[in-house]
Structure 1
Amino acid sequence: MKPPEAVLRKFRHVASRLPKRSWMSAGVILFAFACTVLLMSSHAATPTANYEVEAGTRSGNAGLASDSGASGGTAVKFGGSATGSDPLNLPLDPWWTGGNNFYKQFPAADAYGWSDPSFFPVVAFATNGDHADEVANMNNLGINTIITGAYDHTALKANHISVISEDYAPPATATDVVAYYLDDEGDGKYDNGYGDMNISGSGANESFSCATSTGCGFTETVYLNSKKRSGSTNVLSPFTNALTNGGGRMRYNGYTGGIIGGETKYAPFINDNLPATQRINSTTSVSVDSSYVGKKFQDIIGADRYWYEFSNILCPGSIYKTAGYEPDILNCPRASAYGRNVDNMRRMDSLDGAYQPLASDVELGCNESGGTPCISLGGIGGAMWSSTIHGGMMAFYFPNYGYQCNGSTWSGGYNPVRYCNATTTMGSLLKNLNTQFRTLAPVLNSPTLMYNSYQDTDDGNAATIDRSNYSSAGYTESKFNKNLDTMLKWYDGSYYLFSMINVNANPGSYQFTLPAGLNASSVQVLYDNDDMPGTASSRTIPVNGGAFTDSFAHEYTSHIYKITPT
């Protein structure tokens, strides 16, 4: 995270029949049959490949559709808007990246279970995994992925926790390492641009700075894709290939206000493809591994703008708002603003039509500088679900500078993910919340259905919003109720509706208008999340006249419903 004075720099995917003519046709058929037998008999000696097309990057008019007969539950559809197999045949969200199918293209992640529909990444940033007792506790709290440079691979594998590794040369037995960590907040530290970059130190101790007033953030990110940063390895040594030689691993990169701010000058961080070579400065150029050339800067993305922790900087009356950013966010801080983070990232990612899984980070404590402002316990759950409702494909915690286990005392550098067991206030909060993500993983991995309209669009300048231009690049407005943020899924014969009030709505009761043709006598409430993330709910709500009503006690309250058509 950045100190307050740096915040303003941070705001910136044949059938043809055989003719029946004469006895010669019989000869043709017999000849074809003989050839087929010969081909089949030699098949075992023929190299074969098995590739899930839906797991690859899509562009143009290609989309994904639910298909229970397909190997991964989805199939590629060309032309028009892809639709789910739900009874209403609603269009799919074009940005949906394929859920668990996305990870099939990375052998390490695939082998470790990321492509399983029952897996949803629950990630703790900057969380060491080098003590067996702490690793076991993380697993009990529902954490299944950590970003770290300290490991006990035996303990991590025993608890089936994945690692996004700062070590680019892990042991060959480290099957828990599913991805490499590139950097955090490069857009904030180095701004946008391919300017020259200074390098100091080597290996794990190297540091960067822009050589001129021109931003060098793009240069730095290309550089990180061209080298190895393990131990004292020479600074320009070849990068361990994360797609082949490195064990088929993904690449993770973290961003901040440049990407989340929505200004398109930062779009190359998400949309540019890696070049074969890159000038670093007047004396140095690097080559990118051939397996990376033409690929994105990274495969999965997390980004931070902590609306609670930095509310004194981000909210009305602050220097951020005075500068004109996010003018339509009037109520602040709000859990639903974390969904706006994802909206801005999605809009940036959509510019080239090739999409990547991403999520908004959520803090677990207070401002590192002075201890205030802080996120509330209810705000943690609200922010996590807001990110997910808006399309986040990971549950992503920033646990440092967190609350101690009692959930009220703040301590600089304290990490509740490591230290708080499930009997404590913070441990119970995390376990309840993560149980929801893990229980609902098959639903979250299913296609997102479009039941919203577009409200407004950003013209590329984060300080202005064009409300007259409604297009697929804009913010969405729920058709269930324009004051709500919602996400709709179809899974195993039922609709699943995730909901909370939007960034400018007030707590209270709201009516949900169901899509035309969706007939149901009641809705089942799966989870109520309020001051503390809840356990499973037993509530049902009647449907009258194609609508139902529920209340939201706080700005961070969220509800998850199951609707089974009658």
Structure 2
Amino acid sequence: MSAHQGKRRDLPAPHRIASAKAIFVCVWVALVAILPASGLVADAGESHAQVGLLDLPRIPWEGGPDYWKRFPAAAAAGWDDPAFFPIVAWYNGISSDAEAQYDKSLGINTYIGMDASTPYSLFADNGMYWIGPPLNDTFTRASKNWVGEFLDDEVDGRYAPQQGRAHLQQLSDQARADGRFAYTNYTQSVLANDMAPADANAYVNDFTDAVSVDMYWYTVPFCSDSPYRQNYLVPIPQASCRSASSYGKTIQMLRQRDAADGRLQPLWQFVENLNGGPGGQPLTAYITPEEVEGAVMSSLINEARGIVYFNQSLSGPCQGGSIFRESQVVPGFCADPQVSAAKKVDSLIKGLAPVLNTQSYAYSFGPGLQTMLKVHGGSVYIFAMTDGAAPPGDRTFTLPAGVAGRSVEVIDEGRTISASAGGVFEDRFQSESSFHVYRVAE
């Protein structure tokens, strides 16, 4: 697919979706119940003494940084470092060190989609990584920054299931021959009940070592459809369709598919950095800066292990084939606020990567919330947003038993909150895309 074709945004009417409410914790508790013991990977990054106070069940995971040790190319490139978290740009060509360094300043560390003339040296010299086929003869088996193969895009939307599986099997076998991981991206059809479960499960489980789905909830026409039809594994009510919570539910549903074979792989999330709507049609919406950050955070809270930015805008007055690059070269570019938002949340991810790369605990802090709980370096970390079902506003948190701290630091906000003797504190979420990250002494 060329950089300017864009990605398919919506399924046709027969493939659209149903209603009800789902709670994040319940989904993960259900996953704990259905996964065999071999699918639950112990946390290599925390000692038993350090986590013993919490005595809570763990969220199933694929193994964190240790997962990448299975792939010699990724391990040699340092992807097994707990301080590394994949942040990927979809089609953002680089032609100079200055361009690569600009992308790096935004938090980008990996690319998918590039002009065939791009020399490998631009990746190696700037500490950036490539996922895809060899672009030219400057790429060799020894090219350390060439870490993975991108098999194909949206095969489930372009092939009949049997043909699609045969196509991916061939590509996957080729990719893994050189010790690189295989990654692909699907449409939302693998998350819907219109596709036969056996076909959807096979797509998600049989060919890849990392997998994602693209559905741009804030900017695709789907959320405004009338009549509105739902048929997802996790209901997406129309009232909250255009919300950060829908991105988190995408990860929940993808994990349900991924868990079907009892083996887990990293799940990545596509987020539009301006507009994910289809080209050649009237503009539905541009994602706002706050929504960029919220979509990323909701994905992380629901255990996304990588973020991929859809880096094009194909409709409306603010268009571009490479949003990040145009923000560098076009003074006063119309998407500068969205790019700044991506930079801000990417910086937060980079700073918290050692925390994000640990295994989470299953715990509900209170109603109306989606949360992620982690322990690292003697502190408890709580990543929190509203769940999209109830209006934003004040929320009450109850800390797990055994957490000693009474002072709750709100990271990157310059404030602290006092918890009661019973471990209860309150905070406000101004909008559905608002989030807070808290640190409490264990």
Answer whether TM exceeds 0.5 for this pair.
yes
Residue 261 (str. 1) matches residue 192 (str. 2): yes
What is residue 134 of structure 2 aligned with on the other side?
167
- Of the candidates 369, 386, 389, which is equivalent to residue 484 of structure 1? 369
- Of the candidates 214, 218, 227, which is equivalent to residue 304 of structure 1? 214
Equivalenced residues, count: 401
Aligned equivalents of 1:250, 1:324: Cα separation in 2:
32
The C-alpha deviation readout for 1:64-108, integer Å capped at 9, x for no partner, is 3335xxxxx369xxxxxx9983421222112x1111110011111
Structure of higher CA gyration radius: 1
- 1:105-504 correspondence runs (5 A): 105-150=70-115, 151-167=118-134, 170-191=139-160, 193-194=161-162, 216-226=163-173, 239=174, 242-244=175-177, 246=178, 248-261=179-192, 264-265=197-198, 266-271=200-205, 296-310=206-220, 312-315=221-224, 317-319=225-227, 321-322=228-229, 324-325=231-232, 327=235, 329=237, 330-366=239-275, 367=277, 368=279, 369-401=281-313, 410-421=317-328, 424-451=336-363, 479-504=364-389
Aligned equivalents of 1:5, 1:301: Cα separation in 2:
19
The C-alpha deviation readout for 1:109-156, integer Å capped at 9, x for no partner, is 111110001000011112223333221110111100110233332222
Residue 91 (str. 1) matches residue 57 (str. 2): yes
Distance change (3 Å), C-alpha of 1:157 and 1:541: same
What is residue 60 of structure 1 aligned with on the other side?
36
Contact 1:252–1:298, Cα closer than 8 Å, also in 2: yes
Distance change (3 Å), C-alpha of 1:402 and 1:516: farther
CA shift for structure 1 position 324: 4.8
Distance change (3 Å), C-alpha of 1:402 and 1:101: farther
Distance change (3 Å), C-alpha of 1:553 and 1:323: closer
Aligned equivalents of 1:65, 1:3: Cα separation in 2:
37
Contact 2:8–2:187, Cα closer than 8 Å, also in 1: no
Across the aligned residues of Structure 1 and Structure 2, the Cα RMSD in angstroms comes to 2.7
CA shift for structure 1 position 505: 1.8
Structure 2 residue runs of 5 or longer lacking an equivalent are 1-6, 19-34
Contact 1:421–1:428, Cα closer than 8 Å, also in 2: no
The C-alpha deviation readout for 1:229-250, integer Å capped at 9, x for no partner, is xxxxxxxxxx3xx344x2x211
Which residue identity does 2:417 align to in structure 1?
Answer: I
The C-alpha deviation readout for 1:446-486, integer Å capped at 9, x for no partner, is 111111xxxxxxxxxxxxxxxxxxxxxxxxxxx21121000
What is residue 30 of structure 2 aligned with on the other side?
none
Distance change (3 Å), C-alpha of 1:145 and 1:86: farther
Structure 1 residue runs of 5 or longer lacking an equivalent are 13-58, 68-72, 76-81, 195-215, 227-238, 272-295, 404-408, 452-478, 527-535
- Secondary structure of the structure 1 residue equivalent to 2:366: coil
Distance change (3 Å), C-alpha of 1:548 and 1:3: closer
CA shift for structure 1 position 258: 1.8
- Secondary structure of the structure 2 residue equivalent to 1:450: coil
Aligned equivalents of 1:89, 1:163: Cα separation in 2:
40
- Secondary structure of the structure 2 residue equivalent to 1:563: strand
What is residue 29 of structure 2 aligned with on the other side?
none
CA shift for structure 1 position 3: 5.8
The C-alpha deviation readout for 1:259-305, integer Å capped at 9, x for no partner, is 2336524111123xxxxxxxxxxxxxxxxxxxxxxxx3011112111
Aligned equivalents of 2:318, 2:14: Cα separation in 1:
26
Distance change (3 Å), C-alpha of 1:331 and 1:314: same
Contact 1:381–1:433, Cα closer than 8 Å, also in 2: yes
CA shift for structure 1 position 537: 1.9
Which residue identity does 2:264 align to in structure 1?
Answer: Y
Which residue identity does 2:385 align to in structure 1?
Answer: M
What is residue 24 of structure 2 aligned with on the other side?
none
Aligned equivalents of 2:371, 2:58: Cα separation in 1:
14
Residue 2 (str. 1) matches residue 8 (str. 2): yes
Distance change (3 Å), C-alpha of 1:83 and 1:483: farther
Distance change (3 Å), C-alpha of 1:427 and 1:421: farther
> Which range is displaced more, 412-421 or 119-128?
412-421
The C-alpha deviation readout for 1:358-399, integer Å capped at 9, x for no partner, is 122111112233332221111110000111100100022111
Aligned equivalents of 2:371, 2:75: Cα separation in 1:
30
Aligned equivalents of 2:301, 2:10: Cα separation in 1:
29
TM-score w.r.t. the length of structure 1 is: 0.66
Higher helix share: 2
- Secondary structure of the structure 1 residue equivalent to 2:158: helix
What is residue 415 of structure 2 aligned with on the other side?
539
- Secondary structure of the structure 2 residue equivalent to 1:397: strand
Contact 1:84–1:447, Cα closer than 8 Å, also in 2: no
CA shift for structure 1 position 420: 2.1
Aligned equivalents of 2:122, 2:359: Cα separation in 1:
34
Distance change (3 Å), C-alpha of 1:417 and 1:7: farther
What is residue 197 of structure 1 aligned with on the other side?
none
Which gives a bigger RCO, structure 1 or 2 (Cα 8 Å, sep 6+)? 2
- 1:19-58 correspondence runs (5 A): none
What is residue 469 of structure 1 aligned with on the other side?
none
Aligned equivalents of 1:93, 1:270: Cα separation in 2:
20
What is residue 27 of structure 2 aligned with on the other side?
none
